[in-house]
């Protein structure tokens, strides 16, 4: 990649003033998102509760019925909550806000302080995929596990924002891993390059990454055989890890073939579970 392409793709090639301005704009947009998402979900929930949306529409399109799913319910069921359980939406949004605040602090405060930068537009593209593509996949994976015996037969439907919340948890784990990987690489470049010294740095890092992956997975597993949908949580967490590196890789390279191949990979990652769920 030539210098011109690098300038186009990395914020750390810009001046310090430009970086601060970009971080400020992105930070403001991020905070607006954190405010708007709960507001929209509460508004949608109020429409369901007060009958503004007819019950037959809610049942058909806002609740994922495992025995009669449809493409619209694959998406909308991720944004509606059990109207008989106010704690359902409150718990999900409380967790979403908490994780979002931590992501904001790490990405917009810690990263610049450590002189770490992701490719431009990484976060907006990731969030677009999280909110508008991955919900279909989360529902598709839930249907697959339901139809293959992962759920008890009496579990008939699914709804809730928790699968998307777990996407952001996965994204937070990815950001933390990326940060430590860059710091370790920077340290190795400044010190000895012997194989032993490299291993001494990377083995603890690999343990750290495994810890970030398996602890949430075990937490999710505890919900198996409960009234919670652990497979939606596991799917969301997995996509939170999988999507960011693909998006960042797509933005780094100027080669159009590389960009197209990464777009195809994203579509395959999100589309295959949906198509499979309709096929089985």
Report residue 84: phi and psi, to 5°: -85, -5
Instruction: From residue 191, give the alpha-carbon distance in Å to each of 145, 152, 187, 280.
Output: 49, 56, 6, 54
- 248 and 225 Cβ atoms separated by less than 8 Å: no
Supply the pLDDT for residue 1: 42
Q: Write out the residue range of the structural domain in which residue 245 sits.
A: 3-279
The mean pLDDT of 177-206, rounded to a whole number, is: 80
More confident residue, 111 or 196: 111
Going by C-alpha positions, the residue among 203, 222, 233, 255 that lies closest to residue 1 is: 255
pLDDT bin (cut points 50, 70, 90) of residue 15 is: low
Going by C-alpha positions, the residue among 224, 27, 241, 256 that lies closest to residue 126 is: 241
Question: What are the structure tokens assigned to 120, written together?
Answer: 């431009």
The mean pLDDT of 211-235, rounded to a whole number, is: 85
- 254 and 9 Cβ atoms separated by less than 8 Å: yes
Could you tell me if residue 53 is left (phi over 0), alpha (psi between -120 and 50 degrees) or otherwise beta? Answer: beta
Going by C-alpha positions, the residue among 12, 242, 280 that lies closest to residue 147 is: 280
Cross-strand pairs, 10 = 119
Report the range of poorest mean pLDDT among 22-36, 162-176, 183-197, 217-231.
Answer: 183-197
Query: What CA–CA distance (Å, rounded) separates 79 from 32?
Result: 18
The overall average pLDDT reported for the chain is: 86
Number of domains in the chain: 1
pLDDT bin (cut points 50, 70, 90) of residue 117 is: confident
Supply the pLDDT for residue 60: 94
The mean pLDDT of 186-198, rounded to a whole number, is: 74
Residue 193 CB partners (closer than 8 Å, separation 6+):
none
The mean pLDDT of 177-205, rounded to a whole number, is: 80
Find the DSSP H helices in the chain: 3-9, 16-49, 55-57, 71-76, 86-104, 111-113, 122-132, 134-147, 162-190, 195-221, 230-252, 256-279
């Amino acid at each position: 990649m030539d210098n011109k392409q690098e300038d186009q793709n990395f914020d750390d090639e810009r001046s310090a003033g430009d970086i601060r301005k970009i971080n400020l704009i992105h930070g403001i947009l991020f905070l607006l998102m954190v405010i708007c998402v709960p507001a929209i979900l509460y508004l949608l929930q109020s429409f369901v509760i007060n009958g503004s949306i007819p019950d037959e529409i809610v049942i058909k399109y806002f609740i994922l019925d495992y025995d009669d799913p449809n493409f619209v319910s694959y998406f909308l069921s991720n944004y509606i909550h059990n109207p008989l359980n106010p704690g359902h939406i409150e718990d999900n949004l409380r967790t979403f806000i908490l994780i979002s605040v931590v992501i904001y602090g790490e990405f917009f405060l810690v990263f610049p302080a450590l002189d770490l930068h992701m490719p431009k537009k990484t976060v907006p593209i990731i969030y677009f995929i999280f909110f508008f593509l991955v919900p279909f996949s989360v529902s598709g994976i839930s249907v697959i596990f339901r139809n293959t015996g992962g759920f008890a037969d009496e579990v008939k439907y699914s709804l809730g924002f928790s699968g998307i919340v777990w996407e952001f948890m996965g994204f937070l784990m990815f950001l933390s891993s990326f940060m430590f990987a860059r710091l370790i690489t920077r340290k190795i470049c400044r010190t000895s390059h012997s194989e032993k010294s490299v291993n001494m740095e990377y083995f603890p890092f690999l343990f750290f990454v495994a810890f970030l992956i398996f602890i949430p997975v075990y937490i999710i597993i505890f919900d198996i055989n409960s009234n919670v949908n652990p497979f939606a949580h596991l799917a969301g967490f997995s996509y939170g890890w999988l999507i960011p590196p693909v998006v960042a890789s797509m933005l780094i390279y100027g080669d159009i073939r590389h960009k197209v191949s990464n777009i195809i990979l994203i579509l395959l990652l999100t589309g295959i579970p949906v198509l499979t769920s309709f096929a089985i």
